[in-house]
Amino acid sequence: MSYCHSSITTCLPEKNAALFILGDSLFDNGNNNYINTTTSYQANYYPYGETFFKYPSGRFSDGRMIPDVEIYNLGGRKFGFVNVGAIGCSPGIRVLVNNGSTCFEEVLAIARLHNTALSKRIAELEKQLNGFKYSITDFYSTSLEVLNNPTKYGFKETIVACCGGGPYRGDGSCGGKKGIKEYELCNNVNQHVYFDSIHLTDRASQHIGELIWNGNHTVTSPYNLKQLFQF
């Protein structure tokens, strides 16, 4: 794969083969936890994962699966990470508490716990894996910055989604394919941070993408993605 800057003016010429993992439980690295499948084919309980991850990761193993090792053995040394954003402030989550007047703090707290654990684990991997280099973007703080200071980044609406129905258009009905046929669609999508109940608009995504690619060390560290690829 090659990475192209969103302006399509910067594109690294080097091409590498993408690695798609399609297989049964010998290769599945946890996807069954997140797709429509039967619970009997999910390895989300002890003692799976007890050796390497110290918790069930969805892999039918005490630790890593073959693809996890393959990526590193095939030369994977540089990895880009994005932590969990301020999902407790999305329209679909916001409506669950205080009539949407505030973000869902409990959900935000879970995101912060995850992000702390992620940073710690990545630092451990850097010591364990020879040549391991990484970039991690603080999506949580970045998204809160946009939500708290929208006009600074050209947005006007941070609470109501562009597409959907119900309070704050947060009922997940965008497109009319999830059991609710009627939904609303805004006329000014570029003014919105959220397109539907949980996902960002193209413009908001572009802003975050720019920071991942070329942000300073307060946003993405120890390198931004551009710097990481240039090593």
Interhelix angle 105-128/139-148, nearest 10 degrees:
150
Residue 229's pLDDT is 82
pLDDT band at 4 (very low <50, low <70, confident <90, very high): very low
pLDDT in tens, 165-178: 999 999 988 888 76
Q: Give me the DSSP letters along the chain.
A: ---B-TTSS-B------------STTT-BSGGGTSS--GGG-B-STTTTTTTTSS--BBSSSS--HHHHHHHHTT--EEEEE----GGGSHHHHTTSGGGTS--HHHHHHHHHHHHHHHHHHHHHHHHSTT-EEEEE-HHHHHHHHHHSGGGGT--BSSS-SEE-SGGG-SS-TTS-SS----EE-S-GGGBSBSSSSPBPHHHHHHHHHHHHH--TTTEESS-HHHHHH-
Q: How far apart are CA 47 and CA 138, in angstroms?
A: 32
Residue 230: which region, alpha, beta or left (left: phi > 0; alpha: psi -120 to 50)? Answer: alpha
The pTM is what? 0.70
Lowest mean pLDDT among 34-38, 67-71, 103-107, 128-132: 67-71
Lowest mean pLDDT among 7-16, 86-95, 171-180: 7-16
Lowest mean pLDDT among 19-33, 142-156, 165-179, 205-219: 19-33
| Percent of all residues in the chain with a pLDDT value above 70, rounded to a whole number | 72
Residue 177's pLDDT is 72
Tokens encoding 75: 């030369």
pLDDT in tens, 45-85: 666 675 677 777 777 666 666 466 556 665 678 888 889 99
pLDDT band at 180 (very low <50, low <70, confident <90, very high): confident
